[in-house]
Structure 1
Amino acid sequence: MSTPCRRRLMRDFKKLQDDPPPGISGAPCESNIMIWEAVIVGPPDTPFEDGTFKLKLEFTEEYPNKPPTVKFISKMFHPNIYNDGSICLDILQNRWSPTYDVSAVLTSVQSLLDEPNPNSPANATAAEMYQSNRREYERRVQETVESSWIEIGGDDSDGEEDEKPEPLPSTTTNEMEVDATES
């Protein structure tokens, strides 16, 4: 059944495939257009650089009038991300607008990685560390980045972890190359 929400999600998907923002990929699950999986690459020149982070987006029939629920599946250490992966981001709550599409949501989440708001913390430990001990904060983020390589790479039939995640279809190989052996 085609509803305004589902038609909009198909348009969002087409836009994301035709004109993906750098370091962002997403698509609906094969069996349910209301549930999407996405991957965000950590922004360059940030502590999250080269991380490949999985997210899940869930939409209701009220979309685009109501925002999706967006959660990181990947383990994250960030002042505005709860331990369960939920994200404290104004456009996903009180600043939502029906003009935002999936691409805008994912771009905003990617930007949040480099621009945390420690005054509105979802993770008090990360917020305190971000403000008072930036070196330790960045060390913890680096652990998160390295763990993201394993999550994306998965394990193959020989039981060993892949060294590099597969490139996303919407990015070039050069953008995605990550050497997991460097630390």
Structure 2
Amino acid sequence: MATSSAQTTGAARLLTKQLKEMHTEDISGISVGLVRDTNVFEWEVILMLNDDCKYYGGAYFRAIMTFPPEYPHLPPKLVFQTPVPFHPNIYPNGELCISILHPPEEDKFNYEHASERWNPVQTPETILLSVLSLFNEPNTDSPANLDAAKLLRIEREGGPKEFRKKVRKCVRESLGED
């Protein structure tokens, strides 16, 4: 899809508005800002998981959310920075795998319905709230990190707490304790 200058300008205006809205609303557990003041298409995100999170405690995870010039018609990409959370829905390289960030096209594997994929009504706020929810309820049905999904399934079935151990190590690293 070719991107016009008008489309890019419209996307930049929308992102500026959405960033401003997120700064005026106090959204628990989410902090956003621009990576560079000159680029509204690249946001730094800090997710603060509290101790009540099912992801085994408080942590601070930093991510970069990159928006395409075609936004809101195409989804952004969210990539966690070091330390990358050990999570079934986060690839080892830090890229988040969540249905709402998949392009709004038919799923060639017939795993997801079109209604589960990207829709322009999504906003950075709804995306990040979904990510926080994913930390509480990881999806092991279509994992990005097979090791994390396998260990979580074993743990849910009453097996050893290896998933929990790896997550706690990751949480400590996120807090600068390792």
Instruction: Please tell me the TM-score bracket, short chain as reference.
Output: 0.7 to 0.9
Alignment of 1:99-178 (within 5 A): 99-134=121-156, 135-150=161-176
Aligned residues: 152
| RMSD between aligned residues | 1.8
Q: Is the CA contact (8 Å cut-off) linking 1:80 and 1:121 kept in structure 2?
A: yes
Query: Mind listing any 5+ residue stretches in structure 1 that lack a counterpart?
Result: 151-179
> What do residues 135-162 of structure 1 show as CA deviations (whole Å, max 9, x unaligned)?
2111111111110012xxxxxxxxxxxx
The one of 93, 108, 111 aligned to 1:84: 93
What TM-score, normalized by structure 2, do the two folds share? 0.79
1:20 Cα deviation from its structure 2 partner: 3.2
Q: 2:66 maps to which residue?
A: 58
What TM-score, normalized by structure 1, do the two folds share? 0.77
One-letter amino acid matched to 1:130: L
Determine what percentage of the aligned residue pairs are the same residue: 33
1:48 Cα deviation from its structure 2 partner: 4.3
Query: Mind listing any 5+ residue stretches in structure 2 that lack a counterpart?
Result: 105-116
Off by >6 Å, runs of 4+ in structure 1: none
| 1:37 and 2:63 matched | no
Q: For 2:28 and 2:56, how far apart are their aligned partners in 1?
A: 15
1:7 Cα deviation from its structure 2 partner: 0.7
Structure 1 residue matching 2:121: 3-state secondary structure: coil
> What do residues 78-132 of structure 1 show as CA deviations (whole Å, max 9, x unaligned)?
1111000011100000511111111111111111111111110111110000001
Q: 2:19 maps to which residue?
A: 13
